[in-house]
Amino acid sequence: MSKIKIVGATGCPTGIAHTFMAEEALKKAAEKLGVEIKVETHGQVGVENELTKAEIQEADGVIIAADKDVNAGRFVGKPTIDVSVGQGIKDAENLIQQIIDGKALPYKGNGSSSSSDAAEEESSEGGSGVGRTIYKHLMNGVSHMLPFVVGGGVLIALSFLFGIHSANPDHEQYNEFAAFLNSTGGVAFGLMVPILAAFIAQSIAQRPGMIAGFVGGVIANDGGAGFLGGIAAGFIAGYIVVLLMKLFKSLPQSLEGLKAIFLYPLIGILLTGGAMKIIVGPMTTINEGMMNFLSNFQDSNPILLGLIVGCMSAFDMGGPVNKAAYLTGTALLSDGNFYFMAGVSAACIAPPLIIAFATVFFRKYFNEQERNAGILNFILGSTHITEGAIPFAAKNPLVVIPILMVGSSISAILTYLFNVQVPAPHGGFLVLPVVTNAILWVVAILIGSLVAAFIYGAYKKRSYLKNEVGVEDAA
């Protein structure tokens, strides 16, 4: 009997960690169950290990473990399991078993790969509901936005090495190279909202949606509606273009080119622009109100703010709750508030360091694979990659996640109390030269990480000793 063949596609918003962790989990589970699998990854560098039409055709089933657009229209009619990337990491063996047992339902759609058909796809019963569909569209925008945020933000931060006013030609601190760094980074950073809107719309309505989404994002950005306005613009543009696709579906096939080049862009941009003109005012008010609230909250009660930021950042380590805190910090950076992001960064750096320190100080209570992964977490944590803690949290989330939340909260609270400023949206300790009160920031992160590491280590020790007693009783 020939081996069952499965193909998969993984993708997470950042395209750095979750994507490849899900790929590895699926491959290990397939090997264990004696199944042949090929997994396509949608990382930050693009699509790798791309599936061919023949491989999809020959496959007995498909596993989509993604929180972003992975061109799922290719899998129409194939037995498909469609889950979040996190579930792909935690539950890979069960997902493959469902394919083996024939429990996967055919992915729905009309079988065409055109833009309009892809936009009209519906998820299979094994797939997602409306909430997750919206989340995937949003995360597709976030995924494409992040490189602009990180690249531009770090360049702006580096310009501050020459002085906080080094980009101002009228100030004595002015430096031509610093001004170049600042302006170049500002261009990239300024594209954050239009790119977010464009790729939300692209996820909904493919390429025609992206055009209207980008224009809507520019309107939101110029009007002061910020990233909330960008999110609204992306969804408005995407669904306007989907509506246009349905309205123009009856036109002759010979006019397909006219639709793509003329009708969709023209009418899509017109209607999106009209909608944005109506909502950009209220969205700007909401955006400014949220920023002011958080800024005031930071000054009046940094302990409570640190607790909220710490819990959000460690709750799902790169998931939607974590991203909500991160995107808020990013938006505040563009308004010149460098305090909020300092707490977010500290809270995101802490979880991998908690794991790393625990595996060092309580080495005896971790197996060899865990100890090796723990050492890697020193690198991941130091570079602001929170996802390194996920494999440890997944083994006992009800215990480990609260411990990580404690450590992240302590680090965030101390960061706010120490009045630290971080002008870069990513990079971890690599951006220390541009951090205000950098030593105190490192101290805050280390205190939170060590406290939680010893709590986690004590839990592992207790579990280890309890298991030993059980073995002795059995003997």
d(CA 142, CA 144): 6
- Annotation marks residue 12 as catalytic: yes
Tokens of 443: 């101290």
d(CA 437, CA 416): 11
Helix (H) or strand (E) segment spanning residue 341: helix 339-361
Residue 174 phi, psi dihedral angles, 5° rounding: -55, 135
First to last CA, the chain: 42
The SS3 assignment for 38 reads strand
Closest-CA residue to 180 (of 208, 159, 210): 159
Q: Is the dihedral of CA 315, 318, 322, 325 positive or negative?
A: positive
263-276 burial, b for 16+ CB within 10 Å, e for fewer?
A: bbbebbbebbbebb
- CB neighbourhood size of 232 (10 A): 23
Q: What residues pair up with 39 in beta bridges, in sequence order?
A: 8
Q: What residues pair up with 48 in beta bridges, in sequence order?
A: 41
Q: In what order do the strands lie in the sheet with 46-48?
A: 46-48, 36-43, 5-11, 61-66, 79-83, 105-106
Of the residues 6, 9, 12, 219, which is catalytic?
Answer: 12
d(CA 475, CA 472): 5
CA–CA distances in Å: residue 138 to residues 119, 217, 225, 315: 15, 13, 17, 19
CA–CA distances in Å: residue 66 to residues 14, 128, 203: 11, 11, 13
d(CA 174, CA 164): 9
Residue 412 phi, psi dihedral angles, 5° rounding: -65, -45
What is the DSSP annotation of 395-418?
A: HSHHHHHHHHHHHHHHHHHHHHHT
CA–CA distances in Å: residue 73 to residues 70, 97, 144, 389: 9, 23, 20, 33
d(CA 137, CA 36): 30
Q: Is the dihedral of CA 244, 246, 247, 252 positive or negative?
A: positive
Tokens of 96: 């493959």
Active site members: 12
